[in-house]
A and B are shown apart, each in its own frame.
Chain A
Amino acid sequence: MSFLGRIRRNRLAFLGAMILSVLVAFALLTPLVVAGDPNLMRPTLKSLPPSWSYWFGTDQLGRDLFLRVMHGSRLSLGISLAVALISLIVGTTLGIVAGYVGGWVDTVIGRIVDSLMAFPSILLALGVMAMLGASLENVIVALSLVYMPRVARVARAPVLAERKLEYVEAARSGGASHARILFRHILPNVTSPIIVQATVVFAYAMVAEATLGFLGVGVPPPEPSWGNLLADGRRTLMVSPEQTIFPALALGLTVLGINLLGDGLRDVLDPRMRGIGTNPTTG
């Protein structure tokens, strides 16, 4: 059965994929379909409740909240995706090389990973942002630094087990290079936990990005990242809670979707599940 077919059979993963697809579709299509500047202030239309013309209402500066949430999804999804991909690539490479080579390489990489993980993630991200200064690129750098070690640690452990298996020796005895053994033989056997970890990082990065925005050290305002929207909404939380509820709902739904998809991927990526439903060869 195809990869997509197997995703579809897993109901929760399918639900997660649907939520994410809808959000991504909105994120991509909004600037094309819905005209309007999310940063345009209309002093006469402050803090309006949801209506047909302003679906989510307006904020206290008279900006269209629906537009801001939709444009914010581009920022939040983009940043988290970038963080997840960078952590995935850098973390996986560091982790599997450490596990395969062992010795002092493993020790050095291991200590770096350990020391980065010793800090609470938001504290570390805050520190890096304070050093680098608030900008979109720096948010990505800071969050990648925070989450890369998690991927590295998850990638290293299964390599330790795999490299002792006889198929690795068989490949060596066949003349395969270390790079070929590591990337062609071992890597495909350790991808499941790494991919699952990357989806977890994706979800965490989204929350962390919002946290940084909320604390005022993320993407600088007036860019409508979800964290910035939550920070703006907080000021009028008692009077017009919808200004907080809509961005929070968007954030919550997205993180839920990612987590559901991640759980489903873990099941689907296991090749031992592939033969189910067909007769195994006997003899």
Chain B
Amino acid sequence: MTPASPTGAASRADDPPLVEVQDLVKRFPVRGGMLFGARVAEVHAVDGVSFSIRRRETLGLVGESGCGKSTLSRLLLRLIEPTAGRVLFEGRDVMEFDGVALRSFRCEAQIVFQDPFGSLNPRMTIGDIIAESMLVNRTAARRERVERVARLLEQVGLHPDHARRYPHEFSGGQRQRIGIARALAIGPKLVVCDEPVSALDVSVQAQIVNLLQDLQADLALTYLFVSHDLGVVRHVCDRVAVMYLGKIVEIGDNETIFTRPGHPYTEALLAAIPEPSTRGRRGPALVEGDVPSPIDPPSGCRFHTRCRFAEAVCREVEPALLDVGDGHHVACHLHTPLSGMQRKE
């Protein structure tokens, strides 16, 4: 896989973004007790996240399991309601949509899921699954729907006759193609890809990634590409955002993130990418231990419990996401004048 800007078609930084996320917060209540489930604690799944997605770019969203990637992607599509903050889609507040506006938003932002088995209703034919959104949004009459399903199936590399079959007749890779066809059925502008290849075999992963890239070029799509696989992210994404415990700790160009990471966490993630080597073991892992519980996240910088550069200030003051040049944003005291720390390497 080569580190390159895959489409080259992404719009420039100064164009108005397709999606703008402002201080988005989502807390899930943890309930206990016998009868009515008193609220005993809160999971800070997404905690004050701001970023934007440019038109026709692929923004990668990476992080460990449980860091809030999936929650964030569902907030973006308003599949769940945020506790606070705003999502602007083409400048309009997604949270204020209702009725017709919400419907038309649903037509413009779609999702491809991780699990190729759970994401297709086993009791519906492929044709019905793909045509569902066209049916409920009344964007096409019956005959048109049938034709469009056939065309979509061809577009994702399947046969039009497959429309009459049921999901259990297909392999994981084929099911993911069906999921992609469903997402494209009503002509969205934004497609959230929630770990679209992590449940697939490596050989199939490459096919699906290539399919997604071809479709992006043909249909001028914008992707939010959620993944924990940095190899894939490096291959497909124009920009990358790194998440840790509900916060974005670093965001920047693909090239910058992978060659000059600014946050110790990003550095640790990159060091964990398995590389084929004949010269024995790599150096020691840069992070140890588990992610702290998002029910009671650490004070200050959330990464300080596992960071090898952590100092007193990191335990007390939460670092802001600051521009360190060329649209590269990092949330770390190593880069803020406040600490005056220098990097010792």
Q: Which residues of A contact B (CB under 8 A)?
A: 104, 107, 165-167, 169-177, 180, 185, 188-189, 271-272, 274-275, 280-283
Contact = CB atoms under 8 A, between A and B. Distances in A.
24 contacts: A165-B118, A167-B121, A169-B74, A169-B119, A170-B119, A170-B179, A170-B182, A174-B106, A174-B133, A174-B136, A174-B137, A174-B186, A175-B102, A175-B106, A175-B107, A175-B133, A176-B136, A188-B123, A189-B121, A189-B123, A275-B166, A275-B168, A280-B168, A281-B171
A169 B111 contact: yes
7 cross-chain pairs, A with B, having the tightest CB-CB distances, nearest first: A174-B133, A166-B119, A188-B123, A175-B106, A166-B113, A165-B118, A167-B121
Contact of A271 (B77, B166, B170): B166
Given A165-B119, A166-B114, A280-B169, 15 more contacts: A166-B115, A170-B113, A173-B79, A173-B106, A173-B110, A174-B132, A174-B182, A175-B102, A175-B103, A175-B136, A188-B121, A272-B168, A275-B166, A281-B165, A283-B171
Interface string B78-122: 010000000000000000000000110011011101110011111
B35 interface: yes
Nearest to A190: B123
B174 interface: yes
Contacts of B36: 104, 107
A165 B120 CA distance: 9
Contacts of B137: 174-175
Interface in B106-163: 106-107, 109-111, 113-115, 118-124, 129, 132-133, 136-137, 162
Nearest to B105: A175
A281 B174 contact: yes
Contacts of B106: 173-175
Given A275-B168, A275-B169, A281-B165, A166 B122 contact: no
Nearest to B35: A107
B168 A271 contact: yes
Nearest to B170: A281
Contacts of A281: 162, 165, 169-171, 174
Contacts of A171: 121, 132
Nearest to A177: B136
Nearest to A191: B123
Contacts of B132: 171, 174, 176
Contacts of B168: 271-272, 275, 280
Interface SS of A by simple majority: helix
B48 interface: no
Contacts of A166: 113-115, 118-119
Contacts of A189: 121-123
A195 to B, nearest CB: 14
Interface in B194-230: none
Contact of A283 (B115, B165, B173): B173
A132 B331 CA distance: 72
Nearest to A171: B132
Contacts of B182: 170, 174
Contacts of A176: 132-133, 136
Contact of B113 (A169, A188, A274): A169
A280 B170 CA distance: 7
Contact of A169 (B79, B123, B124, B129): B79
A172 B114 CA distance: 16
Nearest to A274: B166
A173 B105 CA distance: 9
A107 B38 CA distance: 13
Contacts of A174: 106, 110, 132-133, 136-137, 182, 185-186
A173 B80 CA distance: 11
B171 A282 contact: yes
A101 B74 CA distance: 19
A271 B182 CA distance: 22
B335 to A, nearest CB: 37
B133 A167 contact: no
Contacts of A275: 166, 168-169
Contacts of A175: 102-103, 106-107, 133, 136-137
A69 B103 CA distance: 60
A22 to B, nearest CB: 33
Contacts of B114: 166
Contacts of B120: 167, 170
Contacts of A173: 77, 79, 106, 109-111
